[in-house]
Structure 1
Amino acid sequence: MSAGVAWRTGFKTDEDREFQATFLSLGTESAKDKEAFLHRLSFMPKPTQEMFKKGERIFSDFDTAYENIKNRPLYDEGQYVVFKPIELLEEGEVPDSVVFTLNTMELSAILQLNGSFRTESAHIMTPQASACQAIGAFTFEQNDSDDPVPVLSPLDFAARAHMRRLIPDEYMNLSMPWKLFLKLEELSKNSVFQTHFWDDFGNK
């Protein structure tokens, strides 16, 4: 979780990073040192061993996984992160980001709103990362951009399996820096939300 909210990497050694890259790619099949990988797995419960042997297969090979992990955004500051409903913000409190949990119609509307002021078609990020990294590190990174984009998540099935009791399968998260949220909030006053399309689809 600390890596998810961008506090350092979560890896004490390069071997730890290699171990994670092996798991996120093809497991034992992609391990650089299969003997060392299997030895490390031997200390885990049997079901966990089998999961790691197979690999999560988020990445097609070890090298791609390793480079992706190495290039993830990091911020060495802060001791904790507070999540709260936006209506509970106190006067003068300015959040770093906003996280929406949306069904397909709501997501379509927000994405259309997000594209309404842009001239390019590519204006959303879908990081190959864990759910916490998507709403944390990658969203914080967008706050540093002059042209921030929303971050769609979670794409990893491991996270979705843990979340499905709280967030149904047909819902997604869309996170964004506070400054982008304020821009979209202003744009929403004259947008798809004032059309019969939203009346027909969005309010069902």
Structure 2
Amino acid sequence: MKSGIAQELQIRHEPIGIVFTDDKPEAARQFQEGKWGCTMFMLAAALKGETVVFDQNTCGCQGGGTGLGFGNQYTVFPGGQECFKYFLSTGNEQWEEGRAAGEKVKPFMRPDAYNHFMHGERYKKSPELVGKFIENLPITTVPTEFVVLKPLKEIDEAKEDLRVVSFFGNMDQISALTVLANYGRENNENVVFPFAAGCQSIGIYPYREAERPEPRAVLGLNDISARVYLKRILKDDVMSFAMPLSLFKEMESNLEESFIGGDTWEQLKSLGGK
């Protein structure tokens, strides 16, 4: 499946499609069961042309499992969901059960991960607010055994259940995508930018948008942990722009008559990198 948008906007990275399937793709990259890994590692592999696959037992981490649609994986975080609340906020050294959980997991954690577990990532002000963060996530369970990420050009829509298309571009390209998402709409708020893990911005948030009569695009990668992992691999500064398939088709159909051939966009392209 090709994207005229990616071509016209000269987006460096091939758009990524999320496919639901009960058939595991051959030769797909996959995390080992029970082994930690950030979804961004696999996303980077997909951006470089590989097919990657996840199931409930090979999500890499609890945030990734939740973000890709395998239910609330925070309940199986080391020490349970309560420890996750302290991990994302003030740290598990703050309470007795957290300290005990830290002693149990220390031998199995990298030093930096253990430091975050005990002292907190400080992404939310309090454990109670992390609880509200979880409550507000559009947690869902996908209807298939596997979730696959692969380059859009490798997807046959007639044979595969394509649910989400994600672009990864610089701010000029993100601006153009925002214009396209709003181009044919009566209102001006057709792109949302939720505070979320990087995987949640390309997974459960656009999954939820697919249920709306007029689905919106989801701007993502405001997760600074995800940005660290992705930047190290891609050596590139990008944001994600994910959308349900129906919005992708709407934007593609509007491309030719839009600003894309105008002088303003040409001027902006010519200023790239200057």
2:129 is paired with a residue of what secondary structure? helix
Report whether the alignment pairs 1:21 with 2:85: yes
Shift in Å, 1:125: 2.0
Structure number with the higher strand fraction is 2
Other-structure match for 1:6: 69
Task: Report how many residues are paired.
Answer: 201
1:39 is matched with which residue? Answer: 100
Q: Contact between 1:106 and 1:202, CA under 8 Å: does it hold in 2?
A: no
- For 1:153 and 1:76, the matched residues in 2 are separated by 21
Normalised by the length of structure 2, the TM-score is 0.67
**Alpha-carbon distance between aligned partners in 1 of 2:262 and 2:170, rounded to the nearest angstrom:** 19
Cα deviation, residue 119, structure 1: 3.8
Stretch of structure 1 that moved more, 147-156 or 40-49? 40-49
The 5-angstrom pairing of residues 134-153 of structure 1 reads: 134-153=201-220
Aligned twin of 1:159: 226
Give 1:193 shift. Answer: 0.5
Measured against aligned partners, the alpha-carbon deviations of 1:29-53 in whole angstroms (never above 9, x if no partner) come to: 8x5xx01111211232443232223
Equivalent residue letter for 1:38? R
Q: CA offset at residue 9 of structure 1?
A: 0.6
Do the aligned residues in 1 keep the contact of 2:92 with 2:102 (CA within 8 Å)? no
* Aligned equivalent of 1:195, options 255, 258, 262: 262
Deviation at 1:5, TM superposition (A): 1.0
The residue aligned with 1:96 is 163
Say whether the 8 Å CA contact 1:160–1:169 is kept in structure 2. Answer: no
Judge conservation of contact 2:206–2:218 (CA < 8 Å) in 1. Answer: yes
The one-letter amino acid paired with 2:100 is: H
Equivalent of 1:177 in 244, 257, 260? 244
Shift of 1:115: 2.0
Q: Give the C-alpha shift of residue 13 in structure 1.
A: 6.3
Kindly state the Cα deviation for residue 116 of structure 1 after the two structures are TM-superposed.
Answer: 2.2
**d(CA) in 2 for partners of 1:191 and 1:139?**
24
Letter in 2 for 1:124: V
User: Cα 1:63–1:195, aligned 2, differ >3 Å: closer, same or farther?
Assistant: same
The code of the aligned residue for 1:69 comes to I
Identical amino acids, percent of aligned pairs: 24
Look up the match of 1:118: 185
Q: Which ranges in structure 2 are unaligned for 5 or more consecutive residues?
A: 1-63
The whole-number CA distance in structure 2 between the counterparts of 1:188 and 1:76 is 31
* Closer, same or farther: CA 187–65 of 1 in aligned 2, 3 Å: same
Per-residue deviation at 1:112?
Answer: 1.3
2:89 counterpart letter in structure 1: S
- Aligned residue type for 1:36: E
Cα deviation, residue 181, structure 1 = 0.3
- Measured against aligned partners, the alpha-carbon deviations of 1:166-185 in whole angstroms (never above 9, x if no partner) come to 33452111110000000011
What's the TM-score once normalised by structure 1's chain length? 0.87
Cα RMSD of the aligned pairs, angstroms, is: 2.2
